[in-house]
Structure 1
Amino acid sequence: MSKSNRLLLIGSQFLSKTADELSSAKVVLPWLLNGVGIPVFVSGLLVPIRESGSLLPQLIFGPWVKTKRHRKTLNALGAVIQALSILAIALLVFQSTSPIVLGTGVLVLVLVLSLARGLCSLTAKDLLGKTVEEAQRGSVSGLSASLAGVVTLGIGALILYRSQLSSDVYFVLLLTAGLCWLLGAALTSRLQEPASETESLDNNASQNLLDTLALLKTEPDFRRFILARALLAGSGLSIPFVIILAQRTHPDSFWGLGAFVIISGIASLTSGAIWGKLADWNCRRVLILAAALTSISCLAAALFSFSSNAVSMLAFFGLALVLSIAHQGVRLGRKVLLVNMAKGNRRTDYVAIANSVMGLWLLALGAASALLAQWSINASFVLFAAASALSITFLMSKNKD
């Protein structure tokens, strides 16, 4: 059963990560929106909406999830909703709607997608903990990320052969993403999942919420994890600004989109399995290394923004690569650390609290950085660099993991 579950999880995670890459709110959607003249502020909101929308509701989802003995059905449902949302975005692009309609429609659909993504996030960590041994969890997640990188590389290479940027390019990318989520849902539904202990819904929902949030006060290791994760948000939020800066500097470079997609694939391919192995050894050190890479890269991006006209496209590619590798480390390291910190329904509580708190933080930080970038992209990069450096102090504190 264990081997079968590992293969199914690798397959479903691979398809989900591939879908994420092909519909990336950090690369594909910002390039699309910026290309039709939509303000930087709107593009800057894509990642915060996608992330906070998937994280904020998890304290509400959590008690409901704990009433279910099996979580794979909920995970598959979330994947199907993501597929339908991204297919709707593809239709908007294919119909060549006005910039205002396209921008508004994409933001609304990204919000719907993110809510479904939250359900998947909450249940995926539980499924990983229930169906895969602790010493293999990092490797499963890392291998699936690397496999997704191979596909992303191929897609990026195909884009490079396009002679012009037209709506059908985006339609094919987003259509493929939707199909990947549907196939991933099919694999998830075949997992041999042990039954979970269930808890009934209490009528006093507000008291249950307060009791769950009390874990932030009573468990210092968990609290330090939350603080470090919040400060590491720049590893993902900074990448769209690099894309926008590169497109502004080289507006006629269509091959830039294909190259950035390839870069995202290279980051997943080269770093996913390595980060996974390192996380099985020490996931906290993975986060420290990723934090250092993020801080250094954001400082470099700040320097680029001062003299962007003199910076070649290759320099932007290199910067995006390092940031993408760092973000892979942040995502994988925090996932394994959180799964290992608790067991059973306590793991569901940890995930719900961590993600809901992060949802609030990302919404605030994302809106602030988007407004800041409208005035000065350089200032946003400096903010992300400082926050990532500060996260290291919390990660170096004594933990139980």
Structure 2
Amino acid sequence: MRIPLRRRVSPEPAGVGGPVRVDARTKNLTKRLRPGDIAVINHRDIDQVSADALVACRPSAVVNAAESISGRYPNLGPAILVEAGIPLIDQVGEDVMDAVSDGESGRINGGDLLVGDTVVGSGIALDHDAIETALEEARAGLSEQMEAFAANTMEYLREERDLLLDGVGLPDIRTVMEGRPVLVVVRGYHYKDDLQILRPFIRDFKPVLIGVDGGADALVEVGLKPTMIVGDMDSVSDSTLRCGAEVVVHAYRDGRAPGLERVEQLGIKDAVVFPATGTSEDIAMLLADDKGADVIVAVGTHATLVEFLDKGRAGMASTFLTRLRVGSKLVDAKGVSRLYRTSVPTWMLVMLVISGFLALLVALATTPAGDTMFQLLGTRWDEFWSWLTGAFE
């Protein structure tokens, strides 16, 4: 399973500087990261979604306290950062998270992060060749990760067989899905492009819009209001939570729901708690299936083995089984934007312009001003024709 790098871009970290932004959780950091900032993260095995979010923020450099590629599997994130020309300093150590304060001015020199003239962290400046070597080693150990994935799948099946097979434990909700299409949006791979392509579908069929954590914000960003928000509420904004959508809080199997406190503090009193072992995107699909949705369209969710592993969670095995449970109802929108792009043929544009012009002429001909204009045009044409024929005679 080879994941080729598209092109070589050798970052030049020396002299790169800017305000330092620190957060152990990459998805939290990207909410406040600005172009030119130095991102300091603690992210083992940087995945594709996190790397895409970092690249979109255009930082001057990324400093990782952890291993960007641990060797567990060939994760995609580091290559994306390097291909975007963003210097990546690796394995700086967790002490850097406390050694620098958020907002301080820092700079990168080789593999060092400096604040003033003080080196607050040292690591390895990863380039294309170093990443390719690490990925080759990771590919060699991929079979072990597949075995672990299979074991996690069986464990989840034992724990949640009643939920998967019979729907036992699914909560009551007020959102009506019976006989309606449902769109489940996760802030994952290609979600922005696919949402744009699906706009005609959303306009014509008016599906139930379920935003999974940050997926609810993704809907709001494109001008849509989520019908339901599902998740542990750690990556969705306060304003989106208050938009009036039904809120389903994903809880641990023992009933603990850390996200419920935040929801209640925002004044949302009728939130539903759903204890389940799997991921939030899983319970969104299970809810839609159980409540009678006729089709479930998934945007930004995980579909391939590399994507499951790239998520970095053993629990991603639940998504594999959930997809089997939902079956033929599920339509994956992943990559629709790459497969199909709306385009209008040139001849149709020409015909549209000509039709508009003819309609304008007809409208003018019915008015006194238009009639006068056509008479003047006719006179000018006669004069031009007389001059032209006279020139040849």
TM-score range (shorter-chain normalised) is under 0.3
More strand by share: 2
Query: RCO higher in 1 or 2 (8 Å CA, sep ≥ 6)?
Result: 1
More helix by share: 1
> For the pair shown, which has the larger CA radius of gyration, 1 or 2?
2
TM-score by length of 2: 0.24
